[in-house]
Amino acid sequence: MYKLLPDLSIVEASSFVASPTAGLYCAQMGAEVIRVDHKEGGLDYDRYMLTREGRSLSWENLNRAKKSVALDLKSGEGRELLVALAASAGNLITNLPEASFLSHAAIAASRADLVSLRIMGWHDGRQAMDFTVNAASGYPLMTGPAQWDAANPPPVNQVLPAWDFITGAYSAFALLAGIRHRERTGEGAELRVPLGDVAIGTVANSGAMAEMLYRGGDRERLGNAIWGAFGRDFVTRDGKRFMVAALTPKQWDGLVAAFALAAPIAALEEEMGVRFADGDTPRFAHRERLFALFQEVAGRIDWAALEARLAANACTFERYRTMHEAANDPVLVADNPLFGPSPANPSGFAYPATRSFANIPGEPRGDPCPAPFLGEHTEEVLAEKLGLGAGQIASLVDRGVARLSDKDHR
């Protein structure tokens, strides 16, 4: 964890993926992120998959490097404490509805320069989550084998909740932009980031929306081929499946050399009246003929030999792995400085943990931070941020308004 944001305190009241991700990225850059949950755990506290001890591995990894406060958020007193904490910090990340006790106006009444970042579903207030937003985006009906029935193709949902993670990253950026604005002007900011807008806006930013309107219809399914360029999966003689991509002249020349296809490709160029070295367009237009040439070579060579040739020619490629294989891959994980020794995880399960994705050359990233136990920092935060004494905090705990720790787990 870097100390780039050491003086920044953020209160986070959130659940699931997008909102905790925004807080996580800020925490990994050194901000003090105080996650406030209901005393029994938020909606994502038991998010699958659970260890035998009942600990959520998802919750544990999305809340690393944060502090945890547990309050009775069903009670008026607990909600007032959360509002007071948000006002004290002056910075809030949440996905609670605006029409709730944690509205921007409710906090700004005592902290006019509040910067709040609220993740929503759709811009018009409708509920949404990653998998429903993705259904609306058009991507699931663009994915799948080219041979599927074009008149009635089934959708292919993505496994990764990508819109959630993109929204979380964008929200962290938006929050810091709001804080920078306050530093310049003294003004607070209310920022709302709808998950649905991130999805449809990304469709527009990628050029896909303009493309569909220009062509007057949908793009065809391409299976695992890369749209508009040369790239696809192939299978070696010993059954290893791998992906290659060639978007630049250097990448294309490297693939041709690695597969020893200069002569067959020259013959195909003469037949088609094109030069594949001229760019993406001829390679994409004649992709099926090219794919056949590359697969014929791949099918005659074992993976180890072909991998060596691909590497020697600086090709862009990767072998397909299961996620279990990826988690045990020395290059991806064990020898990757992104990962560090397992911290004291609440689950008690030891496994590689991530540091900040960004790195500063020459400066150590530090060891990964653990996730907190639910309520682990309740006493510390209430004392430091709100000035409550030990007796006052003890009273809150005795009355069930606050919880100190779930280390013994329920």
Residues near 209 by beta carbon (within 8 Å), at least 6 away in sequence: 200, 203
From the CB of residue 66, how many other CB atoms can be counted at a distance below 10 Å? 26
- Cβ-based burial of 224 (10 A; exposed 0-12, middle 13-18, buried ≥19): middle
3-state secondary structure of 325: helix
From the CB of residue 200, how many other CB atoms can be counted at a distance below 10 Å? 18
- Cβ-based burial of 132 (10 A; exposed 0-12, middle 13-18, buried ≥19): middle
197 in active site: no
Map tokens 């005592």 to a residue: 110
Dihedral (CA of 369, 375, 376, 378) sign: positive
**118: β partners:** 94, 192
Which of 44, 164, 197, 280 is labelled catalytic? 164
Percentages (nearest 5) of helix, strand, coil residues in the chain: 40, 15, 45
| First-residue to last-residue Cα distance in the chain | 30
Closest CA to 49 of 407, 255, 323, 239: 323
Sheet holding 9-13, edge to edge: 189-194, 115-120, 91-94, 9-13, 32-38, 67-71, 402-403
Query: Rounded to the nearest 10 degrees, how much is the dihedral formed by the CA atoms of 69, 75, 79, 81?
Result: -60
CB-CB contact of 247 with 322 (8 Å): no
3-state secondary structure of 190: strand
Q: From the DSSP assignment, how many helices (H) and strands (E) are in the chain?
A: 16, 12
CB-CB contact of 220 with 149 (8 Å): no
* Beta strand spans in 199-315 (E): 230-235, 241-246
Map tokens 């806006």 to a residue: 201
CA 260, CA 160: separation in Å to the nearest integer?
A: 36
Amino acid at 305: A
Active-site annotation, residues: 164
